[in-house]
Amino acid sequence: MVAIFVLALFLFILLVDLIVLRIQGKSHPAFEPALSQYDYPVYDGNVIPIPSNLFFSKGHTWLKKNKDGLIEIGIDPFGTTALGTLLIQKCVKSGKELKRGEVILEGSYGNKTVKFLSPINGSVKSINADVIGKKISNPYKAWGVRLISKDSLENGNLYFGGTEALNWMKKEFIKLKGFIDDHSLKVELVGETMYDGGLLSNNTSVLLVDQSVNDFEKEFLSL
């Protein structure tokens, strides 16, 4: 009898927890889809690694603290592939006192330019000139900026990693497909092959209507 009461109490608590999470627009971790600790399969069939020593921001930049205390910042795999292969155009200048939310990197998908915001406050110590004017094939080797900052990367409200980053990345790609559907030209005007059987194309930017980039920045690159 006691066991039945304990079980009923447990189920009641779980039900209340699920209701609260549903109201908040969240899902219970127990019901999240299982993902590898390091890899997440993207729609084009490739696998994106999520290094355990990196943090990620909601603006699709990654952060890594080096042994010398400097923080490297680059663009994550979503940002480098979302609307095609990303080409880096500009980096913030070395020596600048950068505030969180200011533009740190600019890139382009085809003829559409996007701005990535700094996920952290700090003083820019160096930039990676090797990435300027080039397309990003390996986002984790192509860091863009190194800076010194007093901000903590352990702030869970601003930065995340591990399984949390994997689950977030998955949801972003799912949301991206809906965004592309809503902002694309009609299929008959661009050809069904651009959808590649429902997979995300590496030339997605050519499908988008005017003002789509502004909406993309608000939806995916805001902090």
pLDDT, tens digit (0-9, with 9 covering 90-100), for 112-163: 899 999 999 999 999 999 999 998 888 999 999 999 999 999 888 899 999 8
Is residue 101 located within the same domain as residue 12?
no
Q: pLDDT class for 44, splitting at 50, 70, 90?
A: very low
Is residue 203 located within the same domain as residue 183?
yes
Is residue 25 located within the same domain as residue 36?
no
Is residue 172 located within the same domain as residue 70?
yes
Is residue 61 located within the same domain as residue 115?
yes
> How do residues 92-107 score in pLDDT, each as one tens digit?
999 999 999 999 999 9
Segments forming the whole domain that contains residue 8: 2-31
| Count: domains in the chain | 2
Return the amino acid letter for 125. K
Q: Could you give the CA distance from residue 39 to residue 49 in angstroms, rounded to a whole number?
A: 5
Of all residues in the chain, what percent carry a pLDDT higher than 90? 46
Is residue 169 located within the same domain as residue 99?
yes
Average pLDDT, the chain: 78
Position with higher pLDDT, 51 vs 191: 51
Q: What pLDDT shows up at residue 213? A: 86
Q: Could you give the CA distance from residue 173 to residue 83 in angstroms, rounded to a whole number?
A: 11
Q: What pLDDT shows up at residue 42? A: 46
pLDDT over 50 (residue 27): no
CATH code of the domain in which 88 resides: 2.40.50.100
Is residue 20 located within the same domain as residue 45?
no
Is residue 13 located within the same domain as residue 64?
no
From the list 49, 54, 31, 29, the residue with the least C-alpha distance to 39 is: 49
Is residue 184 located within the same domain as residue 218?
yes
Is residue 23 located within the same domain as residue 40?
no
Residue 202 CA: distances (Å) to CA of 42, 75, 209:
12, 17, 17
Is residue 23 located within the same domain as residue 112?
no
Is residue 7 located within the same domain as residue 39?
no
